[in-house]
Amino acid sequence: MHNWVAAAVAVAFTVSAVAAEGLSEPSGDVLLTIRGDIAETNGDGVARFDRPMLEAMPSITFSTSTIWTEGTQEFTGVPLSAILDSVGAAGDTALATAINDYAVQIPRDDWGDAAPIVAYEMNGAPMSVRDKGPLWIVYPYDSDATYRSEVIYARSIWQLDRIVIDE
Amino acid sequence: MSGPVEQHGKRRTWVRTGLAASAVVFVLGLVAGMATLILRHIDDLSVASSDNMQWSLAQADVEFLRFRLSLADARAEPDAAQLSQLRQRFDIFYSRMATLEEADTFHTLREDASFAAPVDRVQGFLQATVPLIDGSDAALAAALPELDERAAAAGENVRRFSLAALSALAAQTETRRIELLTALVLMAAILAVLFAGLLLLAGSLSRLARLAQERAHEVQEGAARLQTVADTSLDAIFVTDSEGRVRQINRAAQTTLGLRPADAMGASIVDLLFPETLRDPLRNGALRFLGTGTRPGPEERQFETMAQDIAGRAFPVEISFDRGISGGKPVFVVFLRDISRRKAAEDGLTEARDRALAGERAKAEFLAVMSHEMRTPLNGLLGTMQLLRDHALTERQSELLDRMSSSGRLLLGLVNDVLDLAKFEAGKMEVETRPFSLARLLDGVVQTTAPLAAAQGNSVEWRWVGPEQPGAVGDMRRLRQMLLNLVGNSVKFTRDGSVEIEVERLRGDEDLVEFRVIDTGIGIAEEDLDRIFQDFVTLDSSYARTAGGTGLGLGIARRLAALMDGEMGAESTPGEGSLFWLRVPLAPLREAPEPQTARTASFGDEAYHDAAVRTASRRRPLRLLLVEDNEINRFVAREMLEAEGHTVVEAANGRAGVERAEAEAFDAILMDISMPVMDGPEAARRIRAGQGASADAPIIAVTAHALPEEIESFRAAGMERAISKPVDRADLIGALDSVTGGADEAEAGYAGFEAAPQRAPLVDERQLQSLAESLAPETRARLMDRFLTETEGTVAALAARAPGAPEIAPIAHKIAGSCGTFGMVALADALRRIETRVKRGERLDADELRALPDLWAESRAALLAWHAAA
């Protein structure tokens, strides 16, 4: 598992370097909007991502159970760090907010290379809002007990649609 | 040491140990239990198994309300935006419900019908609504009123399962809380127990600490006390390591030896304390334990030696040292005491004692000389009186002469007593050891005292008590003197009674012989019993005067007894009689020896005197040389000799005597010892050494010196016999008889002197010296080897002969000559005696021959020792 994590990280760095050259314009529905202290934008002071943009970014796939679902699920998504890097997030805190306005702060310390990811697929299919989609910040809860804490559960925000980078 | 107390103590210790072990096990169990409890809780709490359930439930409620608000907005204004909003709200609520359906957290809740039933109904509402939501805007808009109604109905169920979940959760939370509370209470209890244990432990530790402190304090006090003791000591004290290097010294060590602690530390104690010349002997001797670390034996821990202080002053010290253990290693503690003062005091005492003793001796010698000098005029008196008897006397004159003679002999007895005493005081008394017959001795004593006893109307006899064993080895002459004294005493103080002598060999100690002299006389009062043995004590002076006596007799007798390692004492009942006992060690002899002498009486002995005089008339006339410086003595002797029909030529000193002896042949020479110009022994030597007419004439020493060692020197000078001054007629005639072979008496040699043979020198060192000077060492060694080899065999052969064998004389003569050459004077003398007696046809004592090998062995050893030393 570490091998693929390492490989994925290597890929992530390469790609983020490419992505840093500038953000493309979203062509479809905007799934995620990032604002605040960011360097890269593709709108009015905001960075917007549609599904193809996210899918174009290096992805990580892992299987884990969650306390909200029954059985083991396979999640695929982009590391949160990769997304924040791609927009040149300079702040220390990311305030992630869901469609229903549930919000949680994720400090820079938690922007790991491998976790969390912003998952856009569960069990190989896009997630609908009813399935806590379309974007869900998830951690590989089964891989480490530190991921099975209240704070991590609180940060595991589903139906994510916007992030504000704060100072 | 296994008394009940110790048993009790042991049991207590065991109980204590058991209790402590149980306590430890108990505490360990508590800790383990607590740890398990805590670990379980830690495990439970390490990961969160659920999200916030209340939030999730409340959120479902909230999302449902938002959905209904959105529904109400859409009914009021059913445009696309509102409908899209409605769809999103529906989806969000849907996802909420899905979570309630799927999440683990709600598993237990779902089993509760009051929760599951409303949830199912809400799910039914959702499933029924999905086609509407997923359908077209128009259809949705048309169904809004109906949807609103159903939503209102679903709302109740949402409310219901929320409340059911909340109450279930409340119960769950309470259970958890109680569990936690129980755990915490348990933990608190365990902690309390542990804390109590800790308190106990602390208490016991503090007790231990206090004890340790007290011990330390005691040890410190002890050390301080010891230090005080050491510092107060007048002796210097050193503590050294096992190698003898000084580790500690006390104050006295600093003052006595002038040491500074800094100089002393680490120095070798041997180098530090002792003069250089003593160091190696001490290291190899008394202090050899330093370095080996072994402990000296009890008798090796003290010795005296010399020490020196820092200034080099040497002084006598007494050292006491021992090994101890300090810190697991051997250490030595050395006490050094300056004994200069004690030594000085001792020396002073010794000197004072020596001076006092010398003074005593000087007095005794003075007494001896005085009594000796008194004997010379007495000699004149008695001799002259004897001569007077040869003249025709009236009866009255004869009676007067008897009185004079009697008084003279009494006086002579007194002088002899004093002389004996003086000899004692001068330490010049020697004990002889010779075989003799007790029976014969006692016969003699009875015979000697019989006349006096008869005069007092007493009977005297002796008898054995227990088995008879007449043979004994000891000093017969002294024994006789003592017995004569005791019997004489008894006879004097008994009238018309009996005096009995009992002889008994004491059982248990075969060597001890007891003589008891029992009389029926006047007796002695008990308080006087001890006094009578003191010098110059006479109990009844008037009686003593008639009986005669100086009061010295018993004192001398007791001294003699002590000299012979014996004792003497008395028991008495006044009016009935006395018992005097004498106990002396006399080694038993299987056979009584042949009579060595027929007369053992001393001067003044009436019986002997008469016997000797009686035989006198049978002698042939002799030609005699009389060498004597004292004119009176000369006159007396001359008169005595001429009365016997002898011819006498006089010489006034030794030199004149030698001249006369060279010029004329004499049958015998009478030689005084102390003379001016040339003394007797020197004159005798010259006569013997010369080729004069009388070179081989027998020489009789006439002397007042009667000490054994002097007798030996007379013999060595070539004088066959000695007689004592004052010259007694019988003695003189007897001596002449023996040397001229005219006597029928067996007595030969030094009658009356009885020189102690064991005291004679074995070898004459002067002779050996002269031999060594005249011969080359090789020659001497060769000769000596030959002599030793030959003589060894001959002596053995001689000893094996029967006493009567005729070849004894020539063999004895031959060995005597070579023994003389090699300075074995004692052996030569013994051999010559044997030769003389055999030649005279006298019977030899078998013991005399048997004694030769021993004498030879001793002489040989002495000769070799002299050579080894030379």
Crossing angle of helices B113-134 and B80-102, in 10° steps, is 150
Would you tell me which residues 48-87 of chain A have a C-beta closer than 8 angstroms to some C-beta of chain B? 67-70
User: What CATH number does the domain containing A28 carry?
Assistant: 3.90.420.10
Nearest to A68 among B47, B49, B99 (CB): B99
Contacts within 8 Å (CB) and 24+ apart, B220-226? none
| ipTM for the predicted complex | 0.80
Higher pLDDT, B677 or A80: A80
Contacts of A127 in chain B (CB under 8 A): none
Tell me the C-alpha distance between B503 and B490, whole Å: 16
Burial of B175 (0-12, 13-18, 19+ CB in 10 A): exposed
Contacts of A69 in chain B (CB under 8 A): 102-103
Give the list of residues 6+ apart from residue B156 with CB closer than 8 angstroms, or none: B118
Torsion B560-B565-B571-B577 (CA) sign: negative
Tell me the C-alpha distance between A12 and A7, whole Å: 8
Contact B277/A at CB under 8 A: no
Query: Cβ separation of B105 and A67 shorter than 8 Å?
Result: yes
| Residue B869 one-letter amino acid | A
Per-residue pLDDT at B572: 87
Kind of pairing between the strands at B721-724 and B699-703: parallel
Token output for B691: 């080729």
Contacts of B103 in chain A (CB under 8 A): 67-70
Crossing angle of helices B654-663 and B680-689, in 10° steps, is 20
Tell me the C-alpha distance between B549 and B545, whole Å: 7
Token output for B197: 């244990």
Contact B94/A at CB under 8 A: yes
Contacts of A104 in chain B (CB under 8 A): none
Token output for B632: 């009176």
Strands ordered across the beta sheet of B471-474: B434-437, B471-474, B587-588
Q: What are the mean pLDDT values of chain B's consecutive 10-residue runs (870 residues total)?
A: 59 83 85 85 75 80 89 86 88 88 80 86 89 86 86 87 84 86 88 88 92 92 88 88 86 84 85 87 82 80 87 88 84 89 90 86 76 77 80 85 81 77 70 81 84 85 85 83 87 88 82 90 81 66 45 79 88 88 84 41 36 47 87 80 85 89 89 83 88 86 65 80 74 80 44 40 73 72 81 81 76 76 79 76 74 83 78
Contacts of B110 in chain A (CB under 8 A): none
Testing the interface with A: which of B45, B89, B95, B127 to mutate, by most A Cβ within 10 A? B95
Testing the interface with B: which of A64, A100, A152, A157 to mutate, by most B Cβ within 10 A? A100
Query: Cβ separation of B102 and A130 shorter than 8 Å?
Result: no
Kind of pairing between the strands at A160-166 and B236-241: unpaired
Per-residue pLDDT at B518: 93
Nearest to B91 among A128, A149, A150 (CB): A128
Q: Is B86 helix (H, G, I), strand (E, B) or coil?
A: helix
Query: Cβ separation of A132 and B95 shorter than 8 Å?
Result: yes
Contact B48/A at CB under 8 A: yes
Contacts of B51 in chain A (CB under 8 A): 67-68, 150, 153-154
For residue A2, is pLDDT > 50? no
Q: Is B393 helix (H, G, I), strand (E, B) or coil?
A: coil
- Mind telling me how many Å the CA of A153 is from chain B's nearest CA? 6
Per-residue pLDDT at A119: 93
Tell me the C-alpha distance between B251 and B263, whole Å: 14
Exposure of B59 in the CB half-sphere (CA atoms within 13 A):
18
Tell me the C-alpha distance between B598 and A161, whole Å: 166
Token output for B355: 């001076």
Contact A128/B at CB under 8 A: yes
Give the list of residues 6+ apart from residue B217 with CB closer than 8 angstroms, or none: none
Query: Cβ separation of B95 and A70 shorter than 8 Å?
Result: no
Would you tell me which residues 136-165 of chain A have a C-beta closer than 8 angstroms to some C-beta of chain B? 145, 148-150, 153-154, 158-159
Residue listed under structure tokens 């008469």: B610
Nearest to A67 among B50, B88, B98 (CB): B50
Average pLDDT of chain A, as a whole number: 83
Tell me the C-alpha distance between B383 and B30, whole Å: 130
Contact A7/B at CB under 8 A: no
Per-residue pLDDT at B721: 82
**pLDDT, tens digit (0-9, with 9 covering 90-100), for A38-78:** 888 888 888 999 999 888 889 999 999 888 888 899 999 99
Contact B49/A at CB under 8 A: yes
Nearest to B92 among A100, A148, A149 (CB): A100
- Provide the b/e sequence for B792-813 (b: ≥16 CB within 10 Å): eebbeebbebebeeeebbebbb
- Mind telling me how many Å the CA of B69 is from chain A's nearest CA? 14
**pLDDT, tens digit (0-9, with 9 covering 90-100), for B793-838:** 888 888 777 777 777 877 887 777 777 777 787 888 888 778 777 7
Contact B514/A at CB under 8 A: no
Comparing alpha-carbon positions, the chain B residue that sits nearest to A147 is: B47
Cβ-based neighbour number of residue B842 at 10 Å? 14
Cβ–Cβ < 8 Å for B477, B754: yes
Residue listed under structure tokens 């503690």: B333
Would you tell me which residues 92-111 of chain A have a C-beta closer than 8 angstroms to some C-beta of chain B? 99-100, 102
Query: Cβ separation of A150 and B51 shorter than 8 Å?
Result: yes
Cβ-based neighbour number of residue B347 at 10 Å? 10
Contacts of B99 in chain A (CB under 8 A): 68, 132
Residue listed under structure tokens 């479902």: B60
Residue B168's beta-bridge partner residues? Answer: none
Token output for B374: 């008194």
End-to-end CA distance of chain B: 67
Exposure of B539 in the CB half-sphere (CA atoms within 13 A):
17
How big is chain A by its Cα radius of gyration, in Å? 15
Cβ–Cβ < 8 Å for A103, A110: no
| Closest among B522, B456, B509, B519 to B486, alpha carbons compared | B519
Residue B238 φ then ψ, to 5°:
-125, 140
Query: Cβ separation of A70 and B102 shorter than 8 Å?
Result: yes
Contact B63/A at CB under 8 A: yes
Nearest to B103 among A67, A148, A150 (CB): A67
Residue B420 φ then ψ, to 5°:
-60, -50
Tell me the C-alpha distance between A78 and A84, whole Å: 10
Q: Where are the beta strands (DSSP E) in B629-733?
A: 647-651, 668-672, 699-703, 721-724
Contact B50/A at CB under 8 A: yes
Give the list of residues 6+ apart from residue A62 with CB closer than 8 angstroms, or none: A1, A74, A75, A117, A140, A143
Per-residue pLDDT at B536: 60
Query: Cβ separation of B47 and A148 shorter than 8 Å?
Result: yes
Cβ–Cβ < 8 Å for B430, B756: yes
Q: How many domains does chain A have?
A: 1
Query: Cβ separation of A67 and B92 shorter than 8 Å?
Result: no
Residue B323's beta-bridge partner residues? Answer: B332
Tell me the C-alpha distance between B255 and B239, whole Å: 16
Token output for B21: 């072990």
Residue A108 φ then ψ, to 5°:
-60, -35
For residue A137, is pLDDT > 90? yes
Nearest to B94 among A130, A148, A150 (CB): A130
| Closest among B440, B416, B432 to B592, alpha carbons compared | B440
Would you tell me which residues 705-764 of chain B have a C-beta closer than 8 angstroms to some C-beta of chain A? none
Q: What is the DSSP string of chain A?
A: -HHHHHHHHHHHHHHHHHHTT-PPPP-S-EEEEEEES-S--SSSS-EEEEHHHHHHS--EEEEEE-SSSSSEEEEEEEEHHHHHHHTT--SSEEEEEETT--EEEEEGGG--SSSSEEEEEETTEEPPTTTT-S-EEE--GGG-GGGSSHHHHHH--BSEEEEEEE-
Query: Cβ separation of B102 and A69 shorter than 8 Å?
Result: yes
Tell me the C-alpha distance between B446 and B434, whole Å: 22
